Structure 1
């Protein structure tokens, strides 16, 4: 078969065009570290980190979150997976490279080239059935899945910092409360010692005062240990050695607004990165089925060559010269029709659908648990808050301030002071528990399991 030299040149141009990416689709990508709406700049994060390490001052909660997002190994891994998926998406858009080679035929000896053929060939595989577009669709969904996983890690790190921050804040408040109580108990105990020396207080009264002071010192020691533990866990979450001693810039107050269960549930269905990832995984599994079905369609293999023919033709005094050749071939899908891969892809779709259903049920279950705990702790917190503003609290304050002057009724005073203290401790514990559940709900129920509810030590 003879093909003109012009046809060979045109084929070379077509091969060059095929090397450019095809099916290009614009694809936006968010920052792998900072989510949308985050206004903390890397410069401000570095400044906050310097203040934390040098000035020993506690940054704001927003700055601590940004520090954790900047230094978390989890986000380094998830961001790298996003970059990996971006590379796979870019690679999926390219057409197969052509092949070029040497042709030699009828090479008889080294002394003479007469009768031999020498030339070059170009070979190109033509993908049929929309395989390139299907590969691109799978890669794009894989990128979306990697981005959803990255969002999960962002929420996990941020929520851990928030939960641990408010846990440390509540622990700090308990320490301050028990320090104040120890001062009152110590003053009363000193007065009892003086009265016991002059015979105004008997031995059981003196022993009772000493035991009350010992109990207060033990309670304070436990509260200090718990505060130090909370600070160490917070430091670990943000990637520093320790959180310096000092006051936190936020306050532990009763939140002003309430939450509605169904509204939160609908928000979770729309915004939860766990559900987004599961849905994307299902879509990717379905697109893989489409890709595997398209792979049943055979590809074309086109081969064009040009040779210089040295053999002289009969009755012609010159060699035959250039000769062109062309081959077109395709695989016949008789035995292998990609049946196994298609069946495997169908099973993967069923697995992905079950995973989506499982995540949805698990999310609903977690929301029910967190919401009920929030409602219970919210109700308890309101009762304690009302108690702290009642006449009973005024009576407690009067006893706390006048403990040394009311020594004759010392046992009653100690009991009253302990009850008043317990009300405040229970209030802080309930408020901490309520914030724990509220932050978990606001954080789309993505937690690392590090933060625990503050206990009434």
Structure 2
């Protein structure tokens, strides 16, 4: 075992060192033989063992992972402390929260229940229903006191009593008002549908961003683990004169860079989780993980989804409903000049004395009927305004259709590019990088290549995996925006049709 440990320390001593600073392949082989001789003197029974990181199966590829590399401990020649990889395994427990992972369906249900914007949208529907109800109500009658020539004349006569007046609405104005209010209510209903798309699209996008962030934390952890190994073994070899001070410093710098990358990945995960918690309406949701498969991306056809967007998008429906509302308002404006009938009736006690009996006249009644003549005010200004609003709403339908085409084109560009990139990584670049790493490792084990070449291939494999995850994330975000008809921002206030 002493031979195996010493050989691993000597082989890993140049991890993460730039090619310009590492030993040549021949010098590396000589050092290996020298160290092998030292180890053989220490423990002649130890079998030779070639180092090399173990492989952990990852979706769509294999990734180098040396978490068992120090299974029996990695000790220095003078008895050193815990290795960088062992530290990495301990810290790894702090990278992502433990416990059950949340599924997308759970987050969606939470958002539909707790997101306040959906309550706002539903409140707009109830408000519109109240407006419709109010628009159809008939005007209230007016009742009051009536008096004429009160205590007038030499006999203190006069009339006193009560009156009742009522407006009779003509021209179908109440029906026109109800129709306008109904179109406004339908717009509010469409707003609920649009807000639901916004909320679900926002939750789904953040869900896949968190899922990608989880994967990145794991990969950054593995990179840091490799960097820590290089620092430890560089110090060990520096103690026996097998590594120079610049080599040690360079390994420490690369370990610091790997640590910063991991810290940044953790912060991204935390930030995205908090955004997700806010969007589902539960800001106190404990930091956790999500469960899902980032690589099962949706397959979308551009022409199919463009036609579906132009026919079913809540934005199109809302704009078309706005046209109907504008038409109703124009009809209501045209009916407004039709005069209503004003009816008034009164009943009073007439105290005028009658000759020759000198008695009071008694109870008398009266009535009035009138209409307002539409001579000067024929509501012509409001009619012109309603016509202009109708033209505006009709043009708005065309504008939204064109804008949705523009958005769909940009979204499908991002989707197609990201999907092509992800496919290229998965089908070509990652397998080739994996194969290159395996060939370098085999050559190194046969003492035909320097270990820095193995390390470079290994780091390339990790970086490609990082880029692959970013490409998958972009595919999902673009696809979800397409499926959500371009609606996102789950906490944006819903539009008000009032």
Give the TM-score category using the shorter length. 0.7 to 0.9
- Within the alignment, does 1:98 sit opposite 2:138 as a pair? no
Superposition TM-score, scaled by structure 1 size: 0.77
RMSD: 3.2
CA separation of 1:401 and 1:121: change in aligned 2, threshold 3 A: farther
CA separation of 1:140 and 1:449: change in aligned 2, threshold 3 A: closer
Superposition TM-score, scaled by structure 2 size: 0.71
Retained in 1: the 8 A contact 2:201–2:484?
Answer: yes
Q: What residue number does 1:29 align with?
A: none
CA separation of 1:111 and 1:85: change in aligned 2, threshold 3 A: farther
Retained in 1: the 8 A contact 2:444–2:450?
Answer: no
- Within the alignment, does 1:172 sit opposite 2:214 as a pair? yes
CA separation of 1:394 and 1:447: change in aligned 2, threshold 3 A: same
Retained in 1: the 8 A contact 2:128–2:188?
Answer: yes
**Cα displacement (A) at 1:262:** 2.2
Structure 2 segments unaligned to the other structure (5+ residues) = 1-97, 493-498
CA separation of 1:311 and 1:148: change in aligned 2, threshold 3 A: same
Comparing 117-126 with 416-425, greater Cα deviation is found at 117-126
Three-state SS of the structure 2 residue aligned to 1:258 is coil
Three-state SS of the structure 2 residue aligned to 1:248 is coil
Distance 1:145 1:373 in 2: 32
**Cα displacement (A) at 1:109:** 5.9
Q: Equivalent of 1:375, from 416, 434, 448?
A: 416
Where do residues 4-83 of structure 1 align in structure 2 (5 Å cutoff)? Answer: 59-83=102-126
Larger radius of gyration: 2
Q: What residue number does 1:183 align with?
A: 225
**Cα displacement (A) at 1:156:** 2.1
Retained in 2: the 8 A contact 1:304–1:325?
Answer: yes
Where do residues 28-427 of structure 1 align in structure 2 (5 Å cutoff)? Answer: 59-108=102-151, 115-201=157-243, 205-241=247-283, 244-255=286-297, 257-314=298-355, 319-387=360-428, 390=431, 392-396=433-437, 409-427=450-468
CA separation of 1:61 and 1:402: change in aligned 2, threshold 3 A: farther
Distance 2:436 2:116 in 1: 53
Structure 1 segments unaligned to the other structure (5+ residues) = 1-54, 452-457
Q: What residue number does 2:51 align with?
A: none
Distance 1:315 1:342 in 2: 63
CA separation of 1:341 and 1:108: change in aligned 2, threshold 3 A: same
CA separation of 1:170 and 1:196: change in aligned 2, threshold 3 A: same
**Cα displacement (A) at 1:305:** 2.4
Q: Equivalent of 2:480, from 436, 439, 446?
A: 439
**Cα displacement (A) at 1:318:** 5.2
- Within the alignment, does 1:429 sit opposite 2:476 as a pair? no
Distance 1:295 1:176 in 2: 70
Three-state SS of the structure 2 residue aligned to 1:323 is strand
Distance 1:192 1:320 in 2: 125
Distance 2:424 2:184 in 1: 50
**Cα displacement (A) at 1:186:** 2.6
Count residues in correspondence. Answer: 395
